[in-house]
Amino acid sequence: MSQSISIIDQAYKKWVKELALRYKNSQIKASIKINTEQLKYNWMLGRDIVEMNVEKRWGESVITQLSKDLRNELPGIQGLSKSNIYYCKKFYLLYSSIAAIFQQPVGKNNPAESVPVQQLTGIFEIPWGHHCVIMDKVKGDIDKALFYVGQTIENGWSRAVLLNLIDTDLYERQGKALTNFERNLPAPESGLAQEITKDPYSFAFARITGTYNEKRLKDALLANISKFLIELGTGFAYVGKEYRLQIGEVENFIDLLFYNLKLRCYVVIEVKIEKFDSRDIGQLGTYVTAVNHILREEGKDNPTIGLLICKSKDNTLAQYALESSSQPLGISEYELGKFYPEKVEGTIPTIAEIEATLNGENSKE
C-alpha cells in the first residue's frame, strides 16, 4: 500500500525530489565542511518528517519507502537507510527545543530554512556516528546529550571512547565532589574548580582485583598514567608521585601532584583505600598550604586545591570536615568495577603545554 501511495501522491514525489536536491546542494558545500553540512541535512530531514507528519500522512511504512526512493534518486550515497532516517527524526526531536529558542523565519517563501541551524553550532561540530551513540544512550535527556556533545568537542573523543565514558556514567559523576570551593575560592574560579571534580572516580583501568593496599593502588594508577589523566579530565598534567616537600624539619610526601592548565593551579591528590576520616582533611590542608608556600608562584599560579579520593565516605562528616578548613578542598570516592576506554587523544596536555604554563608563557587567556 505504501508503494502505491508513493507513486501516485504528487506531494510525496515532490518532497523526495526536494530532499534529493537539498542533499546534492549540501554536497557542494561539503567539500569544505563535510560533517556540518551532512548534519544540517539530517536535521532538516528529521524536521520534515516531524513537522509534515509524514508517517500519519502517508502511513507508517512511508520511511521504508522513503529510504528506497532516496537511494534511487541518490545512487551510491550512504546514510539513507531506514534506520538512519529514523535517527534523523530522533536527532530533530532531541534538539528541537533549542532550535525553537532561535527560530527566526527568514522568509515566507523559504520555510525549509525557518530554523537557523547555524546557531546550533555545538550540535553540528561532532560526527554523526557520535550523535547516534548519544541518542541511543541518553533516552531523550537533552541536558545529558548536550553535556556529551560539549565534552566530545572539548576532548576530541572517538566514538568508542564516548560510548565507554557514557557507560561509566560520566554525566552523573561530573562536578559532584563534596567541596568547599565556593567558600574558599573566588568566582568564577570556584565554579571551574568544581567542574573538574568527579564523584566517584572510576579506577577500573587500574585492573585491580582482590586484596590491595594504598601502595598497590597508587602504583597501578601511575602505571596507567595516561588513563588516569583521562579520568581526571582535560587539562591535568602529572607533576610527581610521592612528591617530596620539606616542611620545617619534617620531610613530607604528597601522594600525587598535578598541575591543571585550565585553572592554572597545582592540584594535590591524596588517595585513601579506607573510609574517609576527618583527620585526612588536616593532612591534605597542610600539603595544600605547603605547596602554596614552596611551589606556587605569586601572580602566575592560582591557589592550590586539594582532592581526597577515598574508598567511601559519610557525606555529613565529610561536609563538616570541609567546613573546618580554610583551604580549597574536595572529597570524592573511587570505584574499581566499571569498564574504561583504552585510549583517547586530545585530553592529555603535552609536555610543551605544561612547561609553557609553568614558565608563565600562558599568562593570558
With bands split at pLDDT 50, 70 and 90, how would you rate the model's confidence at 321? Answer: very high
Does residue 351 surpass a pLDDT of 80?
no
The predicted structure's pLDDT at residue 158? 85
Is the same domain home to 113 and 259?
A: no
Model confidence at 8, in pLDDT bands (50, 70, 90)?
low
Residues 88 and 222 in one domain: no
Domain, as residue range, for 293? 174-358
Same domain, 93 and 220: no
CATH number at residue 194: 3.40.1350.10
Mean pLDDT of 291-298: 95
Domain count, the chain: 2
pLDDT category at 354 given cuts 50, 70, 90 is low
Q: In the 3-class helix/strand/coil scheme, how is the chain assigned residue by residue?
A: CHHHHHHHCHHHHHHHHHHHHHHHHHHHHCCCCHHHHHHHHHHHHHHHHHHCCHHHHHCCCHHHHHHHHHHHHCCCCCCCCHHHHHHHHHHHHHHHHHHHHHCCCCCCCCHHHCCCHHHCHHHHHCCHHHHHHHHHHHCCCHHHHHHHHHHHHHHCCCHHHHHHHHHCCHHHHECCCEECHHHHCCCCHHHHHHHCCECCEECHHHCCCCCCCHHHHHHHHHHCHHHHHHHHCCCEEEEEEEEEEEECCEEEEEEEEEEECCCCEEEEEEEEEEECCCHHHHHHHHHHHHHHHHCCCCCCCCCCEEEEEEEECCHHHHHHHHHCCCCCEEEEEEECCCCCCCCCCCCCCCHHHHHHHHCCCCCCC
**Does residue 118 carry a pLDDT above 90?**
no
Q: What is the pLDDT of residues 175-200, one digit of tens each?
A: 999 999 999 999 899 999 999 999 99
The domain boundary, picked from 59, 90, 125, lies at: 125
Residue 142 lies in a domain: no
Let me know if residue 314 belongs to a domain.
yes
pLDDT at 116 over 60: no
87 domain-assigned:
yes
pLDDT single digits (tens) 295-320 = 999 999 999 999 999 999 999 999 99
In a domain, 58, yes or no: yes
**Mean per-residue pLDDT over the chain, rounded:** 84
pLDDT digits (tens, 9 = 90+) for 51-89: 999 999 999 899 999 999 999 998 888 889 999 999 999
* Dihedral sign computed on CA atoms, order 301, 302, 304, 310: negative
